[in-house]
Structure 1
Amino acid sequence: MKVTINDVAKLAGVSMKTVSRVINKEPSVRKKTHDIVMAAVKELNYQPNLAARNLAGSSAFAIGLVYDNPNAYYVIDMQNGVLSRCRQEGYELVIHPCSYADSQMRDELKTMIQRSRIAGLVLTPPLSEQQDIIDELDSMNMHYVRILSGRGSSNDDDSCIYVNDYAASYEITAHLIGLGHKNIAFICGDEEHKSTSERLAGYQKALSDNGISQRDEFIYRGEYSFESGVNGAKELLKDNNALAVTAVMGGNDEIAAGALFAARLMNIAIPSELAITGFEDSPFSKQTWPKLTTAHQENDVISEHAARLLFSKTRGARNQDKDITRIFTPTLVVRDSSAAQS
């Protein structure tokens, strides 16, 4: 027989309204009462009916994840991170893919929010970087958390989780320089993504700090795709490597995998003749041969902390989560695709 909220109330010796307040994580419940009710919930293995909760009251028991990213691995990791937190909180997750370039994006988002009755949104790049969308959400008094490429500071918006692409790119470049490489090329991702400019800036700063001149012809403006890596590498390495490039940094692992494929077609040995690195440590980095040196980016952990921050915001100042990481820096993972210049 299915356990009901009335069964929990009887076992805990409280009213059904009190059980509801505890389950809905209302901040005014005393800790002693909270613990008694949760002990009863655990003993009876009570599972709230989320659909009924949404229909019964004014509170929303779902949050939304909004994204526009062609990388399926990135999207799945982001979904898993947010979903893991939703399960702990007793919330559902509404997943909403969209196109940041769509002129009707704001109206689409507004309609989704109204139909789904969500408590808040987690926004991923590049949607999280669009001020018109943020303005629209503010006008609706909608809670949101943005995942952004950036370095963060003490004065930053408390609705942001930052990924320090700049520092990670600097570290990859310094790794290549330490191996003796000076002619290091960079294949960029989409110009609209802030991660592109941050990763490029980290690369340029590392060159400058090590006294290596920056050369415009070493930078290929592409997009976050395998094909862009292929085309970029062909351009940078054409005419028997006239530019004398000895290392190529891909803006992400897909780009790097494409660059490695192109180098193979041109009979360039990796890593003895050309070092190649990626970014993000997606499965692409482990599916190539040799496996890619890259920067490990914990997208599931990043999105889980974004969801924690969102839930913290929806509960107000009295129930803040003190253990949220606001700035994540991807870490260097050295594999076989990078080696000392021969």
Structure 2
Amino acid sequence: MKATIKDVAKLAGVSFKTVSRVINREPSVGQELQDKVWAAVKELNYQPNLGARLMRGAASSIGFIYDNPNSNYVIEMQKGILQACREEGYELVIHPCDAKAPDILDELNEMLDRSRVGGLVLTPPLSETPEMIEALKQKKVRFVRILSGQHAPDKLSPCVFIDDRTAGFDITQYLIDLGHTRIAFLGGDMEHASSGERLEGYKDALKKNNLPIDEALILPGEYAFESGIERSKKLLAQDARPSAIFACNDEIAAGTLFAARILGVSVPQELSIVGFEDSPFSRQAWPKLTTAQQPNNTIAQTAAKLLINDIRAARESSGEPAAQGFYPKLVVRDSSCPAANK
């Protein structure tokens, strides 16, 4: 016969309400009682009834909402969120969307009504869109935002922020220290705040070292391999071409590397290339790409746990939402070296 929650309670020597609180991972139960309950759950092979959980109105799933062309980023995010969900006893609903669609808010409302998730993990550009945040607050939907910045921008929700500006500064300063003075910047999609933050870090480093900000070396574009190829060809066709390129992500940097090969420009002897993110692109390229390590799996796992904790705590609107920062670190590989004239 299938074990029930009362069987677990009897074996653990606790009330069935305590078992329920432990299984729902409420923070009010002490570690000793938790250990007893989980030991009984394992011995009896008890399977919680998620359907009953939904009937009681308790959340049993969270949603991951994204609009991002970078498949590596999306996969790492999914892995991190799934890991947190499995540890915390939640299911994951994944919903890709077009953040620019005129009916995006209606689409998300339909998804929320259909799936009955307890909250949402939002990634850029959705997490950085004021209209989206306001709509979710009006609907009283809990959410956590992953976004670019040096601190949490407000107290509207739990937040995970990535300090892209400091990382952009560190990358540029590293290239300057190698003797490079003509350093190009290849941006990403401007609706993502990360592109603007990395650009500001790049400019900060140039200013600190009294180097001119040459707009001809700053090319906006997309977070895509093809965009890296196209813009790098333009840069490398200049009479006074750059000796180093800071690409806003590893896909762009891989495109830059490809363009250099086509044009017969040796990397890193004639051109140093630095990417951002430490994705498989950076490790599979030849030469391997110098980059800034952004731990997307850990970032996603952290965000999911902040959201689940917020759902369980049923935080009052006046409470202080949790926030955690991440600081991408430079990883030096083979695609960069001292400038030829140093």
Answer yes or no: same fold by TM over 0.5. Answer: yes
In the alignment, the residues of structure 2 paired with residue 31 and residue 268 of structure 1 have an alpha-carbon distance, to the nearest angstrom, of 61
Aligned to 1:10: 10
- Cα distance, 1:335 vs. partner? 0.6
Q: How does 1:93-104 map to 2 (within 5 A)?
A: 93-104=92-103
Q: Distance in 2 between matches of 1:62 and 1:92?
A: 4
Secondary structure of 2:307's partner? helix
Q: Which one of 252, 262, 266 corresponds to residue 255 of structure 1?
A: 252
Write the distance in 2 (CA, Å) between the matches of 1:171 and 1:74: 22
State whether residues 143 and 157 of structure 2, in contact with CA within 8 Å, keep that contact through their aligned partners in structure 1.
Answer: no
Report the Cα offset of residue 53 of structure 1.
Answer: 2.7
1:60: Cα distance to partner?
1.8
2:273 match? 276
CA shift, 1:317, in A, is 7.5
Counterparts of 2:158 and 2:307 in 1: how far apart (Å)? 8
CA–CA separation in structure 1 for the residues paired with 2:31 and 2:262: 65
1:329 to 1:27, Cα distance in 2 relative to 1, 3 A: closer
Answer yes or no: is the 8 Å Cα contact 1:187–1:250 preserved in 2.
Answer: yes
Deviation at 1:30, TM superposition (A): 6.2
Letter in 2 for 1:135: E
Indicate the residue corresponding to 1:43 in structure 2: 43
Name whichever of 95-104 and 21-30 sits farther off: 21-30
C-alpha contact 2:152 2:159 (8 A) present in aligned 1: no
> What percentage of residue pairs aligned between the two structures are identical?
54
Give per-residue Cα distances to partners, 1:163-201, cap 9 Å, x unaligned: 111111111111110110000001110111100100100
Structure 1 unaligned blocks of 5 or more: 319-323
SS of 2:176's equivalent in the other structure is helix
One-letter code aligned to 2:177? G
- Residues 234-283 of structure 1 show CA distances to partners (whole Å, capped at 9, x for unaligned) of 11111xx4123100111100001001111111110100001111000100
**Map of 1:145-184 to 2, 5 A cutoff?**
145-152=144-151, 157-184=156-183
Of 299, 310, 335, 1:313 maps to 310
* 8 A contact 2:183–2:217 mirrored in 1: yes
Q: Unaligned stretches of 5+ in structure 2?
A: 316-321
User: What code does the residue aligned with 2:329 have?
Assistant: T
Aligned pairs, number? 335
Alignment deviations for residues 292-329 of structure 1 (CA, whole Å, 9 cap, x no partner): 000010001001110111112112279xxxxx771101
Q: Distance in 2 between matches of 1:49 and 1:211?
A: 65
Aligned to 2:122: 123
On the 8 A contact 1:169/1:203 being kept in 2, the answer is: yes
Per the TM alignment, residue 2 of structure 1 is displaced from its structure 2 partner at its CA by: 4.1
Structure 2 partner of 1:221? 220
What RMSD in Å do the two structures reach over aligned CA positions? 2.1
- Contact 1:246–1:341 (Cα < 8 Å) also in 2: yes
Matches within 5 A, 1:1-342: 2-26=2-26, 29=29, 33-54=33-54, 56-152=55-151, 157-238=156-237, 241-316=238-313, 326-342=324-340
> SS of the counterpart of 1:326?
strand
Q: Give secondary structure in 2 for the equivalent of 1:248.
A: strand
What amino acid sits opposite 1:114 in the alignment?
D
SS class of match (2:213): coil
Query: What residue identity is the alignment partner of 1:256?
Result: A
TM-score, normalised to structure 1, is: 0.92
For 1:31 and 1:280, locate their aligned partners in 2 and report how far apart those are by CA, in whole Å: 38
Amino acid at match of 1:44: L
Q: 1:298 to 1:46 in 2, by over 3 A?
A: same
